Structure 1
Amino acid sequence: MQIASRSGGPVPDIASLLARLAADGGRPRLTWYGDDGERVELSGAVLANWASKTVNLLVEEFDVGPGTSVVVDLPVHWRTAVWALAAWRTGATIAVPDASVAQPDVVVTDSPERWADGGADLVAVSLPALARRYDGDLPPGAIDAASAVMTYGDAIGWVPEVEPQQDALVTAAGTVGHKDLVPEPGAGARVLVDGRGAVADLLRHLLGVWAGGGSVVLTSPATAAELEHDDARLARLLSTEQAQR
């Protein structure tokens, strides 16, 4: 499915991308197919709204901004995209767990017990769509994202100025700066994205699709593996979502 581009030209940064998503109304920009048949669809406006609330949490709770190191220890998931967009909007540096980061300032994770003794501020993320609280024991001082995010405003309040020369993404393979974070825009299509890739690579893929005015149908790794061996189910999904590979 080809989607008429509303991108208005190249997207220089995450702030511009979020502004375009917010102005995009109700058409889907991210559709998630998780394990056990979970399907979540976010319009551009809803995706930007989630990101805005999360930006406010990061800034108000942790003073996140340029120079802040945020480890995103989450699997491929629609919530991972939201947290990445929010952290980048503050100008922070995102690192994935396999990157060499001496001491992160904030860790966003679905497994807070792994980071309980690390000294970083912790945010515990519940992945199920209907979760209203973290289903488990929280380390002392950790914030439960499921309940906390919803208490913040829908519009971004004060946020630090992003420094284009600062690192935006740190992986074992290297770094990407904020000025180069958003890839060349895609063709404006609705595309099926296999969730078995590296989280960092998939996040940048999503940025490129959105920058081109396109839309993403993202599968969990388990769902992607199932689709690989079920041609009929894959064909139904592509037809239902009007997406292409």
Structure 2
Amino acid sequence: MQIAPRSDGPVPDVASLLARLAADGGRPRLTWYGDDGERVELSGAVLANWVSKTVNLLVEEFDAAPGTRVVVDLPVHWRTAVWALAAWRAGATVLLPDADAAHPDVVVTDTPDRWAGGGADLVVVSLPALARRYDGDLPSGAIDAASAVMTYGDAIGWVPEVDPGQEALVTATGAVQHKGLVPEPGDGARVLVDGRGAVAEVLRGLLGVWAGGGSVVLTSPATAVELEQDEARLTRLLSTEQARRSRG
């Protein structure tokens, strides 16, 4: 299914991409299939709204800006995309746990015990769609993302200017600058993305699909395994979502 014409050339940055998503109305741009049958669908406008709230939290609470190092210690998930997009919109550098993540400024994680006492500001994310608070003990000073994000404004307030030459994404295999973060646009299709991919590859794949006017059906790793083992279920999902398998 092609849901939009392919965009005219590359998208220069995440800010431009988010502006397109925000103006997109009610068309689905990210559909998530999680564990235990969870399904979450976000239109472009709703996705951009989640990112805007999260940008405001990062900037107002942690002074996120170019040079800020944000570790995103989350699995492939729709919330992971939101936090990465928000950090990039603030001009920060996203580090994945496989990178040299020494001395981060902020850590966004669903496993706070791994980072407690490390000196960084800590944001604890609950992954279930209906979670309204973190189901566990928060380390001292940590922010519960499930309750905190919703208190911030729907429109991005003041945000620092992004430095195109700063590192945007750092992994064990290297770094990508903000000016090269958004890949070449896709073909406008609705694409099923296997959640077993590396987080960095999945995130950049999402950016490329959205830059081309397309839409993503994203699975958790466990759901991807189940679909691989059940061809009939996979066929039904592709038909229901009017999606095709990713060519990557």
Alpha-carbon offset, residue 33 of structure 1: 0.1
Matches within 5 A, 1:207-218: 207-218=207-218
**Alignment correspondent of 1:222:** 222
Indicate if the aligned counterparts of 1:4 and 1:213 stay in contact, CA closer than 8 A. yes
* SS state at 1:72 partner: strand
Inter-partner Cα distance in structure 2 for 1:241 and 1:228 = 17
Inter-partner Cα distance in structure 1 for 2:26 and 2:20 = 12
Indicate if the aligned counterparts of 2:51 and 2:83 stay in contact, CA closer than 8 A. yes
Indicate if the aligned counterparts of 2:6 and 2:185 stay in contact, CA closer than 8 A. no
**Alignment correspondent of 2:77:** 77
Do structure 1's residue 128 and structure 2's residue 128 form an aligned pair?
Answer: yes
Matches within 5 A, 1:191-206: 191-206=191-206
**Alignment correspondent of 1:182:** 182
1:166-204 alpha-carbon deviations (Å, 9 max, x no partner): 000000000000000000000000000000011011000
Matches within 5 A, 1:92-103: 92-103=92-103
Inter-partner Cα distance in structure 1 for 2:66 and 2:48 = 21
Task: Give the residue type in structure 2 aligned to 1:164.
Answer: P
* SS state at 2:122 partner: strand
Do structure 1's residue 53 and structure 2's residue 53 form an aligned pair?
Answer: yes
Inter-partner Cα distance in structure 1 for 2:102 and 2:41 = 37
What's the Cα RMSD here?
0.8
Inter-partner Cα distance in structure 2 for 1:42 and 1:147 = 19
Matches within 5 A, 1:10-89: 10-89=10-89
Task: Give the residue type in structure 2 aligned to 1:62.
Answer: F
How many aligned residue pairs are there? 245
| TM-score, length of structure 2 as denominator length | 0.98
Inter-partner Cα distance in structure 2 for 1:205 and 1:190 = 12
Indicate if the aligned counterparts of 2:33 and 2:218 stay in contact, CA closer than 8 A. yes
Indicate if the aligned counterparts of 2:65 and 2:92 stay in contact, CA closer than 8 A. yes
Alpha-carbon offset, residue 101 of structure 1: 2.2
**Alignment correspondent of 1:104:** 104
Inter-partner Cα distance in structure 1 for 2:241 and 2:132 = 28
Inter-partner Cα distance in structure 2 for 1:10 and 1:196 = 27
* SS state at 2:29 partner: strand
Indicate if the aligned counterparts of 2:10 and 2:183 stay in contact, CA closer than 8 A. no
* SS state at 2:137 partner: coil
Inter-partner Cα distance in structure 2 for 1:108 and 1:201 = 19
1:11-68 alpha-carbon deviations (Å, 9 max, x no partner): 1000000000000000000000000000000000000000000000000000001000
* SS state at 1:233 partner: helix
Indicate if the aligned counterparts of 1:71 and 1:107 stay in contact, CA closer than 8 A. yes
Alpha-carbon offset, residue 8 of structure 1: 4.7
Indicate if the aligned counterparts of 1:182 and 1:208 stay in contact, CA closer than 8 A. yes
Gaps of 5+ in 1: none
| TM-score, length of structure 1 as denominator length | 0.99
1:130-171 alpha-carbon deviations (Å, 9 max, x no partner): 000000000000000000000000000000000000000000
Alpha-carbon offset, residue 6 of structure 1: 6.8
Task: Give the residue type in structure 2 aligned to 1:150.
Answer: M
Alpha-carbon offset, residue 9 of structure 1: 3.8
* SS state at 1:175 partner: strand
Alpha-carbon offset, residue 3 of structure 1: 1.6
* SS state at 2:32 partner: strand
Task: Give the residue type in structure 2 aligned to 1:109.
Answer: T
Indicate if the aligned counterparts of 1:7 and 1:20 stay in contact, CA closer than 8 A. no
* SS state at 1:202 partner: helix
Indicate if the aligned counterparts of 2:6 and 2:187 stay in contact, CA closer than 8 A. no
